[in-house]
Amino acid sequence: MGRERITILDGGMGTTLECLGHSVSSELWGSELIFENPDIIQGIHQKYYEAGADLVETSTYQLTQNNLSSYLKSTSKEELSESEYERKSQGILKSAVNLVYNSIPSSSSSSSSEKKGVVFSCGPYGSTLKPGAEYSGLYPKPFGPNSRERNYFQDSEIEEEENSIEKLSEFHLSKLLNIALNEEIWKKIEWIGFETIPLLYEIKSIRRCMKKLNKILRNKYSNIENNEGNDEIWFIKKFWICSPFPDGEFPQLNSSGSNQHVPIEDVVDTLLNNSNENLGPLPNGIGINCTNPKYLLDLSKKFTFALSQKIKIGDVKLSSRPIFVLYPDGGQVYDVNTRTWSIPTNGPASSEEWSKGILQVVNDVESTKGDNSEYIWNGVIVGGCCKTSFDDIKALKRNLDDQILQ
């Protein structure tokens, strides 16, 4: 296993704030600290870099211009115009990027193996709902089906599904445009992380969103020179799409009404379907986040098999193989209604145990090769989600480095 094929991501933010004694009970889940007490947020980012993370996410998971404006209106001591609230909200999203970027250690080398990067975090539409719908995928119309009791469109609802895909693509695009049209901020971002995406049609909406975004950015930035010393188009950002697997299953049910969950084969096909250029660009990374570690080995094998089959039949070229992105939770169980965590009896007992379990999955994924002896995956990004800490990332880095030396 080559260390250059493994990138370490940071751990949880909201639950880390909670563990440090800060309230996460607001509609912004504690992210109001970006503007109310930015030193706290920046300190957490910095500690994750110091723990060994190569990539650190912004604390913008559930933030949008709308919910930021709503929060500012409810807490502001002065009355502002709608446009002023929007301008402040946009500034907060930009500040979130700067807080990560300014946390990068000054000793960070420009060499590829040591360079630190910023990931702009984008949660699903469901993260803005009360209660959150990241695990259920039950979205209201027009972002979901007519019935709030199902998270899939029936075969006869082609037009309705198309309308929801378009609405969701605009939802994600509007968030990204708050930062993408600012050259200084946009240059500081290496990845866009779409995470905890529970629905196939939201995956489709994200790819459509990225197609729209890239077109807008080509028009805006195409005449600006690349000063990075390479041939990459600097304004076209890498992005990943990850999903949660509560109880080891993708949240969306099959349209047959059989109460069966969509298989991973269909998830991977939706992520990597390249049969029509109108579908949007392929994600640079796909995988799993906010999922109990006990499900990871089985899930990752299914992801690997699905990708290997697409490579074998030529649906995915070796040159466009994605990176496998894996950042599970700490092994605890979350209740979306009470917003509390419970500890199962069979969960990892320590950071050491958690990290070694995760690395077993990473080793299996990273080393798998196809019939032509080429790696199935283009590398692995691994970190932690909710209820993971600095100690977990530190243990992950230490055990990964120890493996390389053996």
The binding site for Zn(2+) consists of 290, 385-386
Bond prior to 142 in cis (omega within 30° of 0): yes
Alpha-carbon distance 326 to 304, whole Å? 13
Residues 6+ apart with CB under 8 A from 142: 163, 164, 167
Q: Which of 300, 311, 310, 313 is nearest to 264 (CA)?
A: 300
Amino acid at position 77, single letter = K
- The helix/strand/coil state of 281 is coil
Pairing of strands 191-194, 238-243: parallel
CB atoms within 10 A of CB 86: 17
Burial category of 150 from C-beta neighbours within 10 Å (exposed 0-12, middle 13-18, buried 19 and up): middle
Cβ pair 238, 190 in contact under 8 A: yes
Nearest Cα neighbor of 8 from 323, 237, 305, 248 is 323
Phi, psi values for residue 132, rounded to 5°: -60, 145
Degrees (nearest 5) of the Cα angle 142, 161, 274?
Answer: 130
Handedness of CA 211, 216, 222, 228 (dihedral sign): negative
CB atoms within 10 A of CB 320: 13
Q: Angle at CA 206, nearest 5°, toward 46 and 64?
A: 55
- Specify the DSSP class assigned to residue 247: G
User: Exposure string (b/e) for 300-313, b if CB count within 10 Å is 16 or more?
Assistant: bebbbebbbebbee
Annotated binding-site members: 290, 385-386
Tell me which residue of 124, 334, 125, 74 sits closest to 241, measured CA to CA: 124
